[in-house]
Amino acid sequence: MIFPEYTPVSQIQKNYGSVLKKTELGPVILAHYSKPVAVIMSASDYERFAGMEVELKRLQRIVKADRDFAEMRQGKYTLLTDELAANNADPSQ
């Protein structure tokens, strides 16, 4: 994917086909009065982007678990006694 290209919104009305063609090279940012208002991208770029979101969430869970384990290695944890564990398991208490 190449750097996004800025295109005036009016270009969609004038030449829709050329704007879609530009999405083959990367996302097209639609600008209204020189301010970005929307992005058009190819379906393949969108699928890849959506897949990155899933991967990002997976990596965030891994990082959190790694931080939690690091804290435990530093002694930042609480040992549950049998009585405390039983109390935590029973939602009525």
For the chain, give every domain's residue range. 5-41, 42-74
* Distance from the first to the final alpha carbon of the chain: 57
pLDDT tens, position by position, 15-66? 989 999 999 999 999 999 999 999 999 999 999 888 898 999 999 999 999 9
Q: Indicate whether this model's pTM tops 0.85.
A: no
Domain 5-41 class?
alpha beta
**Which amino acid belongs to residue 59?**
L
> Going edge to edge, which strands form the sheet with 35-40?
5-8, 28-32, 35-40
